Structure 1
Amino acid sequence: MFLCFRIKNMDVRTGLIVLFCLMGLTWAQPVKYIDCGSTTGKVIGVDINPCPNQPCQLHKGNSYTVNVTFTSNVDSDKSTAVVHGVVGGIPIPFSIPVPDGCRSGIQCPIKTGNTYNYQASLPVKTEYPSIKCVVEWELRDNGNEDLFCIKFPVQIVN
């Protein structure tokens, strides 16, 4: 009986170790970002998955998950994401599959003082050039004001 108990404990410990190792591989990396004018909200944190190093290397043909945690300073019935790659100071639109923030992890209507976790996919098209740039990601409220505006550096690679 003692042997069965010991084997079960060892199996549980081994399982937990494996689980924690796997979780470490899948957790998103916090990203260094600049707030570029969040007027009606406050950014708490940003992470991108996968992004083991910074600047994040975005491989053509892959898709990345961008997670932004923010607090709203306004009520808003809707939210719309606008994404640009800034190259040489010129903003170039990035297409995202779902620009509606209310379909990207946010429970709408947005309420003043609540914290939200916006989550969106950033597909990197194969036709994008291999280049270093800055991604500017805005989430706009009813009045077209920025609930958040963040900038973070990336490198698009093959």
Structure 2
Amino acid sequence: MRLQHTLLLLTTAFTVVRAEIVAYEDCGSKLTVNSVSVDPCPTTPCVLKRGGSATMSIVFQGSENAGLPGDAEVQGIKWGMNFPFELDAAQICEDIRPSCPLRSGRWYTYTKTVSIASWYPAVSGTIRWRLKNTNGDSMVCVEFPAELA
């Protein structure tokens, strides 16, 4: 049992080292957000390569008062306009650990890898990532600067 805990800690440590914690702004979260990380993101703003992929992780504290987990929504914001990013599977519970349902006071990590289409324009702006409940309300909403290169 002790070996399993040690392996889990080592795996988590290596995973955290790879991803970069990014500065973010909260855009209306009902839940407490602890951190946001993006891999790769060695600089600010995050430079995301078109034709590649990026992995986003959000650590947040659960609460039954936020509603039942629904879908994730990702948008690029530029010139005051929102441009949606396609997610292969938007259902939040598929990407949360520990798994749903959310329990008050427990910490969760949402992790999602997205493909960045090569046809996206080379542009800088803001990425908005929302985790919505089944009513469409934001449980978690974070924004961070990014550049598609």
- TM-score (structure 2 length as normaliser): 0.83
1:94–1:24 CA distance, 2 compared to 1 (3 A): closer
1:142 to 117, 120, 134: 134
Q: As a proportion of its length, which structure holds more strand?
A: 2
Using the TM superposition, give the Cα deviation of residue 25 of structure 1 relative to its aligned residue in structure 2, in angstroms. Answer: 10
- What secondary structure sits across from 1:103 in the alignment? helix
Q: Does 1:108 align with 2:100?
A: yes
Distance 1:95 1:24 in 2: 25
Q: By how many angstroms is 1:113 displaced?
A: 2.1
Runs of 4+ in structure 1 deviating by more than 6 angstroms, as ranges, are: none
Percent identity (aligned):
29
Matching residue of 1:83: 74
Query: Which structure has the larger Rg?
Result: 1
Amino acid at match of 1:124: I
* Correspondent of 1:30 among 7, 21, 24: 21
Q: Secondary structure at the match of 2:69?
A: coil
Q: Are positions 1:62 and 2:52 aligned together? A: yes
Partners of 2:20 and 2:69 in 1: CA distance = 28
The one-letter code matched in structure 2 to 1:89 is G
**Letter in structure 1 aligned against 2:95:** S
Unaligned stretches of 5+ residues in structure 2:
1-9
For the residues of structure 2 that align with 1:110 and 1:121, how far apart are their CA atoms?
21
User: Is the contact between residue 77 and residue 108 of structure 1 (CA under 8 Å) also seen in structure 2?
Assistant: no
**Alignment check: 8 A CA contact 1:72 1:110 kept:** yes
State the partner residue of 1:155: 147
- In 1, are the aligned partners of 2:38 and 2:56 still within 8 Å (CA)? yes
User: Is 1:46 aligned to residue 36 of structure 2?
Assistant: yes
Gapped runs of 5+ residues in structure 1?
1-18
SS of 2:93's equivalent in the other structure is: helix
Supply the distance in 2 between the matched residues of 1:72 and 1:89 (Cα, whole angstroms): 31
Could you tell me which residue of structure 2 aligns to residue 121 of structure 1?
113
CA RMSD in angstroms, aligned pairs only: 2.0
Aligned CA distance change for structure 1 residues 25 and 101 (closer, same or farther; 3 Å): closer
| Aligned-partner residue type, residue 73 of structure 1 | S
1:83-121 C-alpha deviation (Å, 9 max, x unpaired): 110011111111122211111134111122221100001
Q: Distance in 2 between matches of 1:116 and 1:149?
A: 15
Deviations 1:33-72 (A, max 9, x none): 0000002x11100000111111111101101100000012
Aligned length in residues: 135
Q: Give the secondary-structure state (helix, strand or coil) at the position aligned to 1:102.
A: helix
Deviation at 1:26, TM superposition (A): 5.5
